Amino acid sequence: MSRKPNRWFPNLEWVLLLVLAAETAVFTVTGDHFLTASNGFEIVRLAAETGLLAFGLTPVIKTGGIDLAVGSMMGLSAVILGGAWSSLGLSIWLAAALALSVGAAGGFLHGWLITRLRVPPLIVTLGTFSLYRGLAEALTGGYVSYTGFPNAFIALGQGYIGGIMPTQLPIIAVVFASIWLFLHRTAAGREVTAVGFNASGARFAGVAVQKRLVSVYVISGLCSALAGLLFVARIGQAKADAGTGYELTAIAAVVLGGTSITGGRGTLQGSLFGLLCLILLQNGLRLSGEPSEIAGLCSGLVLLVAIIFNQAWTRAQKHGQVAQMRAAAVPAVDSESFSMKNHQIAILAAAILAGALLIAGTNFYLVRSMAGGARAAAPQTHRAVIALTPKAKTDPYFVSCKEGADEAARELGVDLLWDGPDDPDPARQNEIVDAWITKRVDAIAASANSPEAISSVLRKAQARGIKVVTWDADAESNARSFFVNQATAEGIGSTLADEGSRLAGDKGQYAIITASLTDANQNEWIKYIRQRMAAAHPGMELATVHPCDGQRDKAMSETKAIVRAYPGVRVILAICSPGLPGAAEALKQEDRHQVQLTGLSTPNLCRSYVEEGWIQSVVLWNTRNLGYLTVYAAYAVDNGDLKTGDSHFTAGRLGTLSVAGDQILLGKPFIFTRENIGGFHF
Amino acid sequence: MKPGKRELTLAGAIVALGLLPLFGVPGFYSAGNLRNLALDNLPMLIAALGMTVVILVAEIDISIGSLFAVCGAVAGLTAKAGFPMPLVVVATVAAGAALGAVNGQLVTRARVPSIIATLAMLAILRNAIIYATGGAWIQDLPRDFQWFGLGQAAAQPAYLAAGGMLFVSGAWALRQTSAGRMFYAVGCDHEAARRVGFNPPGVVRAAFILMGALTAVAALFSFTRYPTIETSAGQGFELQVIAAVVVGGTAITGGRGGAVGTLLGVILLGMIGTVFTFLHVNPAWSKAIQGAIILLAVVSDTAVGKRTVHV
């Protein structure tokens, strides 16, 4: 057994190459158009921002530290860029430079707190995790989103060099090369390693430990700020919620790449492989038509198996070393039994890994061949694939839309793909749509989290011959053929305002419980609520807008505090689906009959509160019908039954609906009250 | 029990923050508001007790946000299946403890660093519950699910008493019993703890099992306040709980800290939002202020004097 550490793969990074090879093999079979050059470049684009974070994090983790604030720094950098460009009127490149220097300053603050005040990195960056994101929200009030950036800047995130290579590729290649040289080819890089193994030892060996530590955090801050800029360029808008949740994926990529979380060990190429393993898994499963939670689940499993394997192998190696030393002194029998054990552990671990991938592979293959068999048995007609993306998958509103979509897909005999981000995240929604383009589905129906962000990918889909409609929330009108319109933002806002004012008796204060302060939809509704109140109900005055972060529990505690802290509030408008039942439970527990409650949610979630009189009314359209109609519309556009200029459209059990221009109208928002809610089940 | 420097700093910060509402809208110090604050932060306090133990043994558990949701789903499904409420409690706590045991096994037997093992569990459990439920809430629960059928008036004081007793006995056991001290011993020095006869891997496993069980209890305290189960609950819970524990002065290097500091940390972080609501501060600022307070609290005692310097 060789004692010399492998030069390129000192921490078993070659295992990841095996995983990558296995993933490629499996997804080439199961995914549509997985092994194509354009998908390869798409993966680069997907990996760019997380990659920058992971590359910046590698030196940090190698010193035994951690930086949880990288995702928050992306948000801050995005907001600084947008603010400096739009409000201060700086040129976009100057604004970008300013954002990068804020990133460096943020990293310096980490380094300073860690070295001077001796606060552990985990705690420092847990604090700045809130602080940076909070500053980004405070600077924009959460709701401002900067758009309309110059084309030269947008090209950084959406452009192609030579028509095929994404602009991000050279950028991340340069960053990778510089950090790689720093980490593996300079004295400073050796010092990083030494600090990670033993900070005190390094100090006695003459390393300026504090200076080294500050420098790695500055690098991490710079990389996060750059990732924020690329993020803005990719989705075309700068908002405070950029990069939410990216830190965990980046950390997972680094540790998967063999960097020891306790410091000392790790290579940058390892982080790259780790990152590719995770991104390939995500991309391949999407192209195989699996929902994104399967990718999340598998990422967790791969992380566990890889680290367990790595630990077992490292331990086996150590045993082997001990055995060799003993072998020099005592009879060889001992070492024989030791090296047997090494091999056994190694083989066992490898077998587990191979087995896991094999099972995954055959499962997909089986499912696919069964589906293929069914297809072959049916008459030789093409079964259309219609892909719907909601704004957020776990939102009960969209859960009930999906029931209708499933119903329509069964009636029409089409394959329905349903996938969206966990929370209303425009960047992830773009990634999902991008994968569908590569997969070449027949029609895409999108409920846009951000019109600017989604339109760029929808136009790309149209250019590749995929039919595009939007539903629930529209994109730019040249990015789709039809919009399945349940109600305009203005209609929702006005209805809510009228309803709220009616309940309050046209006089008094009102409070709003929104999803999160950065939620584009809710912010649009709030705008129209305020406009309508000011125009038609001058007696009504807005007391406050509180976010519940899309969580019922927070909606309840916020509502309890609001009814006490704002005694003048006569009516509360809770405008997200978990928020309304949360607010209702708060009024019930507080026993506040004099505060009226209305808002937007699904009847099922609110039924008991409406019947008990805690919610006076729920404003909503029939979400089940909305999902149903969307699938019918996408199907009709795909096979040519619905063309521009049609004035009527027949959609299954909904009968004939009118088409106004490029909008298919579902009908007016409906107001559910105690009298009629019993008749609705969705 | 002599209060440490961090506890004094925190108590000072709580008093200072507690004075602010006197200049705002009256009603912060009404019995109802204080009861609401206590009830709403009870789940966080219970989970933070478990996290204190985990951090004391120099490990960390970032899977509890997902674990929280899974425990809620277990409670909801068993109640819906017709289990009587005591059995629902047993099943939920057992599920939490079992998942905690998985974490413990990964850390001690497979030697996966706890931050990685629990990061993987965070992803696995969260995605599993989305896959299983599709984001739908668990509805049509039996009537005695909410407040254990006690009715709100009786249940609220009962919850506070039960939660308080659980926390006080846990804090006492951690400080005063040899079983509690073994967590400190192992956190200070595995080898020394082993030499005096403890089994460090066993102790670490016990810490994770305790964490899982207490997360389940926290989930019960939280979800039984509602008539339905929100399956996407608990996102970001882990970071709030860790923040409360480290603000409370428990060292992430293990062996130092305790439940009193954690209680103060939970009070401080739990009251910030409500205090600023009563001051009519724009909620857009609340996250930034919270981050600043976390940083101030953790740097204050090292900045003032360097007596507790480690490294």
pTM for the structure as a whole? 0.90
**Any domain includes A674:** no
Contacts of B152 in chain A (CB under 8 A): 589
Does A200 share its domain with A296? no
**Last residue of one domain, picked from the residues A253, A285, A317:** A285
User: Could you give the CA distance from residue A63 to residue A46 in angstroms, rounded to a whole number?
Assistant: 28
Mean pLDDT, rounded, of chain B: 91
Q: Looking at the complex, report in whole angstroms how far the Cα of residue A372 sits from the nearest Cα belonging to chain B.
A: 24
Cα–Cα distances in angstroms (integers) from residue B229 to residues A34, A232, A551, A553, B232, in the given order: 39, 36, 12, 11, 9
* pLDDT (0 to 100) of residue A142: 79
* pLDDT (0 to 100) of residue A597: 96
Does A15 share its domain with A86? no
**Any domain includes A668:** no
Does A318 share its domain with A462? no
Does A204 share its domain with A337? no
What residues contact A392, with CB distance under 8 A and at least 6 apart? A398, A420, A421, A422, A423, A424, A425, A449, A550
Q: Are A399 and B134 within 8 A, CB to CB?
A: yes
Q: Are B302 and A561 within 8 A, CB to CB?
A: no
Q: Provide the CA A363 distance to its chain's centre, in angstroms.
A: 27
User: Could you give the CA distance from residue A585 to residue A594 in angstroms, rounded to a whole number?
Assistant: 15
Q: Which two tokens stand for residue B71?
A: 């425990």
Residues 554..583 of A with a Cβ closer than 8 Å to B: which? 556-558, 560-562, 564-567, 578, 581
User: Could you give the CA distance from residue A315 to residue B41 in angstroms, rounded to a whole number?
Assistant: 43
Closest CA to B231 of A574, A300, A293: A293
Residues 135..174 of B with a Cβ closer than 8 Å to A: which? 135-137, 139, 152
Q: Are B36 and A560 within 8 A, CB to CB?
A: yes
Please count the CA atoms within 13 angstroms of the CA of A227 that sit on its side-chain side.
35
| Residue the block writes with tokens 């420098």 | A215
Establish if B34 touches chain A: CB-CB under 8 angstroms: no
DSSP B1: -
Task: State which amino acid sits at residue A73.
Answer: M
Q: Are B287 and A297 within 8 A, CB to CB?
A: no
User: Could you give the CA distance from residue A599 to residue B197 in angstroms, rounded to a whole number?
Assistant: 61
- The answer to whether the beta carbons of residues B52 and B265 sit under 8 Å apart is no
Please count the CA atoms within 13 angstroms of the CA of A100 that sit on its side-chain side.
12
**Any domain includes A21:** yes
Q: Are A134 and B124 within 8 A, CB to CB?
A: no
User: Could you give the CA distance from residue A560 to residue A589 in angstroms, rounded to a whole number?
Assistant: 9
Q: Looking at the complex, report in whole angstroms how far the Cα of residue B110 sits from the nearest Cα belonging to chain A.
A: 6
Domain count of the fold of chain A: 4
CA quadruple A531, A532, A533, A535: dihedral sign: positive
In terms of Cβ atoms closer than 10 Å to its own Cβ (0-12, 13-18, 19+), residue A365 is: middle
Q: Which two tokens stand for residue B288?
A: 């930034």
Establish if A395 touches chain B: CB-CB under 8 angstroms: yes
Does A462 share its domain with A495? no
Does A320 share its domain with A436? no
At CA A425, angle to CA A424 and CA A427, rounded to 5?
155
The most distant pair of C-alpha atoms in chain A lies apart, rounded to whole Å, by 96
Q: How confident is chain B (311 residues) per 10-residue block, as mean pLDDT?
A: 74 92 89 94 97 96 96 96 95 98 95 93 94 90 91 93 97 94 94 94 97 98 95 92 93 90 95 92 89 85 51 35
Establish if A524 touches chain B: CB-CB under 8 angstroms: no
Closest CA to A258 of A335, A313, A203, A332: A313
β-strand pairing of A656-660 with A648-650:
antiparallel
Establish if B271 touches chain A: CB-CB under 8 angstroms: no
User: Could you give the CA distance from residue A194 to residue A131 in angstroms, rounded to a whole number?
Assistant: 31
Query: B140 — phi, psi (to 5°)?
Result: 55, 45
Does A500 share its domain with A578? yes
**Any domain includes A673:** no
Q: Looking at the complex, report in whole angstroms how far the Cα of residue A564 sits from the nearest Cα belonging to chain B.
A: 7
* pLDDT (0 to 100) of residue A2: 46
Q: How confident is chain A (682 residues) per 10-residue block, as mean pLDDT?
A: 64 83 89 88 90 97 95 96 94 96 97 91 92 94 88 90 88 96 94 93 93 96 97 92 90 92 91 94 90 90 88 81 66 41 51 58 54 46 88 88 93 93 87 92 92 90 94 90 86 92 94 89 91 94 93 95 94 94 95 94 92 93 91 92 85 86 83 89 83
**Any domain includes A560:** yes
Other C-beta atoms lying within 10 Å of the C-beta of residue B201? 17
Task: State which amino acid sits at residue A29.
Answer: V
The most distant pair of C-alpha atoms in chain B lies apart, rounded to whole Å, by 58
* pLDDT (0 to 100) of residue A372: 47
Does A261 share its domain with A320? no
A263: left (phi over 0), alpha (psi -120 to 50) or beta: left
* pLDDT (0 to 100) of residue A336: 39
Establish if A141 touches chain B: CB-CB under 8 angstroms: yes
**Any domain includes A631:** yes
Nearest CB among B116, B236, B243 relative to A303 is that of: B116
Does A165 share its domain with A58? yes
Q: Looking at the complex, report in whole angstroms how far the Cα of residue A468 sits from the nearest Cα belonging to chain B.
A: 25
| Residue the block writes with tokens 């929104």 | A514
What is this model's ipTM?
Answer: 0.92
Contacts of A544 in chain B (CB under 8 A): 277, 280, 283
Query: B280 — phi, psi (to 5°)?
Result: 60, 40
| Residue the block writes with tokens 């969209």 | A398
Query: A578 — phi, psi (to 5°)?
Result: -75, -20
At CA A64, angle to CA A186 and CA A15, rounded to 5?
80
* pLDDT (0 to 100) of residue B42: 97
For residue B70, the surrounding DSSP H or E stretch is helix B64-80
Does A555 share its domain with A470? no
Residues 63..82 of B with a Cβ closer than 8 Å to A: which? none
Establish if B11 touches chain A: CB-CB under 8 angstroms: no
Contacts of A590 in chain B (CB under 8 A): 32, 36
Nearest CB among A117, A252, A608 relative to B119 is that of: A252
* pLDDT (0 to 100) of residue B311: 35
Cα–Cα distances in angstroms (integers) from residue A613 to residues A46, A121, A598, A609, A658, in the given order: 48, 50, 11, 6, 36
Residues 281..300 of B with a Cβ closer than 8 Å to A: which? 282-292, 294-295, 298-299
For residue A180, what is the domain's CATH number? 1.10.3470
**Last residue of one domain, picked from the residues A320, A353, A381:** A381
| Residue the block writes with tokens 């949880």 | A68
Nearest CB among A398, A549, A564 relative to B27 is that of: A564
Domain that holds residue A520: 489-620
User: Could you give the CA distance from residue A468 to residue A235 in angstroms, rounded to a whole number?
Assistant: 18
For residue A465, what is the domain's CATH number? 3.40.50.2300
Does A90 share its domain with A7? no
Closest CA to B136 of A578, A62, A194: A578
Contacts of B284 in chain A (CB under 8 A): 137-138, 140-142, 517
User: Could you give the CA distance from residue A555 to residue A583 in angstroms, rounded to a whole number?
Assistant: 6
Does A297 share its domain with A363? yes
Nearest CB among A130, A549, A564 relative to B291 is that of: A130
Length of chain A: 682
Residues 481..520 of A with a Cβ closer than 8 Å to B: which? 517
Contacts of A260 in chain B (CB under 8 A): 113
Q: Looking at the complex, report in whole angstroms how far the Cα of residue B135 sits from the nearest Cα belonging to chain A.
A: 4
- The answer to whether the beta carbons of residues A656 and A648 sit under 8 Å apart is yes
| Partners of A147 in beta bridges | A237
* pLDDT (0 to 100) of residue A355: 58
Establish if B30 touches chain A: CB-CB under 8 angstroms: yes
Contacts of A308 in chain B (CB under 8 A): 106, 110-112
- The answer to whether the beta carbons of residues A69 and A132 sit under 8 Å apart is yes
Rg (CA), chain A: 28
Q: Are B298 and A119 within 8 A, CB to CB?
A: yes
DSSP A419: -
**Last residue of one domain, picked from the residues A240, A266, A285:** A285
